[in-house]
Amino acid sequence: ALTTPILEVKDLHVAYGKVEALHGVNLKVGAGQIVTVIGPNGAGKSTMLNAIADALPTTGTMRGSVSLLGEDVASVPVEARVARGMCLVPEKRELFSTMTVEDNLLLGSYRRYRAREKNYADQLDVVFELFPRLKERRKQDAGTLSGGERQMLAVGRALMAKPQLLMLDEPSLGLAPRIVKEIFHIIVRLKETGVAILLVEQNARAALQVADYAYVLETGSVGLEGPASQLANDSKVIDTYLGLA
Ligand code: ATP
């Protein structure tokens, strides 16, 4: 079908000072899809997400186009990109550890509150249904949570903005295998709620299992792409990324 992709990135270049980290990346996320970007440390995965979200450090400069639902947002600032439906869960999670779980979540709806959206807090129920653990701990400070719960809170906070595109930077990083499984299970449930997902992962095996489509990023360029099930059976991908995982 010829539906407009949720996200389309064309010829994305990013440089830190004189060092180019991305050399012309093209990528698409269709409605209702999970798209994953796998690849080794330092390939430029975080750089790519940060450029898409307008969250590059001040030393980073980009060129190329980023379209959200068919509209070019490359020169639109981060708040306005969120308003148009994209939300990034950064690798560092960036929670407020001395604020409660509930208050961290409400911060995720701050833009909607400022915009006088009547039902800005309604998503709390949606988030608590997805993450019952967060509901149990709603009055606790975020700093008291386990690693897995913190990742859930970071995802929950992003969902408070009611995104159409959720971008996740290494959600499984540093988590125990059992928790990783739970996080990936939640990613699939999120997809079922209709949100499109761009998932950056070093855990290639788990990412390829849940994704519809995948890109392999190698030192700033897409080396390989295709349906996730196809890449999961590609001998080069198996040797390089699935062998030891
Ligand atoms: P990781 O999984 O380790 O985060 P990655 O695939 O996300 O890896 P990036 O963090 O995007 O990779 O890094 C891509 C390249 O850009 C690397 O060579 C890195 O050293 C460089 N880089 C990243 N951030 C900066 C920065 N703020 N200033 C200068 N160079 C940077």
pLDDT digits (tens, 9 = 90+) for 35-58: 999 999 899 999 999 999 999 999
What is the signed CA dihedral for 94, 41, 19, 78, rounded to 10 degrees?
-30
CA 95 to chain centre: 16
Predicted confidence at residue 192, as pLDDT, reads 92
Burial of 194 (0-12, 13-18, 19+ CB in 10 A): exposed
Whole-number Å distance, alpha carbon 41 to ligand 1 midpoint, is 8
- Output DSSP code: residue 170: -
Q: What percent of the chain has pLDDT over 90?
A: 69
pTM of the predicted model over 0.80 = yes
d(CA 234, CA 197): 23
Ligand 1 pocket check for 57: Cβ under 6 Å: yes
* From 20-24, 92-96, 144-148, 195-199, the region with the lowest mean pLDDT: 92-96
SS3 at position 245: coil
Closest-CA residue to 208 (of 33, 26, 31, 36): 36
Whole-number Å distance, alpha carbon 22 to ligand 1 midpoint, is 10
Predicted confidence at residue 144, as pLDDT, reads 95
**Residue 97 main-chain phi, psi, to 5 deg:** -70, -25
Burial code of 105-138, b = ≥16 C-beta within 10 A, e = fewer? bbbbbebbeeeeeeebeebbeebbebbebbbebe
* From 3-12, 84-93, 165-174, 185-194, the region with the lowest mean pLDDT: 84-93
Are 101 and 145 in contact by the 8 Å Cβ rule? The answer is yes
Q: Is the pLDDT of residue 114 over 90?
A: no
Predicted confidence at residue 244, as pLDDT, reads 55
pLDDT tier at 91, thresholds 50, 70, 90: confident
Predicted confidence at residue 43, as pLDDT, reads 94
Pinpoint the alpha helices (H) of the chain: 45-53, 78-83, 101-107, 110-114, 123-130, 132-136, 147-159, 177-192, 204-210, 228-232, 235-237
Closest residue (by CA) to atom 26 of ligand 1? 16
pLDDT tier at 131, thresholds 50, 70, 90: very high
Closest-CA residue to 16 (of 50, 53, 67): 50
Q: Is the pLDDT of residue 245 over 50?
A: no
pLDDT tier at 2, thresholds 50, 70, 90: low
* Greater pLDDT, 112 or 99: 99
State whether ipTM is beyond 0.85: yes
20, 47, 169, 241: residue to mutate for ligand 1 pocket, most atoms within 8 A of CB = 47
Show the tokens assigned to 98.
């001395």
Q: Is the pLDDT of residue 170 over 90?
A: yes
Ligand 1 pocket check for 44: Cβ under 6 Å: yes
Burial of 243 (0-12, 13-18, 19+ CB in 10 A): exposed
What is the signed CA dihedral for 226, 227, 233, 238, rounded to 10 degrees?
50
Residue type, 111: R
Whole-number Å distance, alpha carbon 117 to ligand 1 midpoint, is 37
CA 38-44-49 angle, to 5 degrees, is 80
Closest residue (by CA) to atom 29 of ligand 1? 16
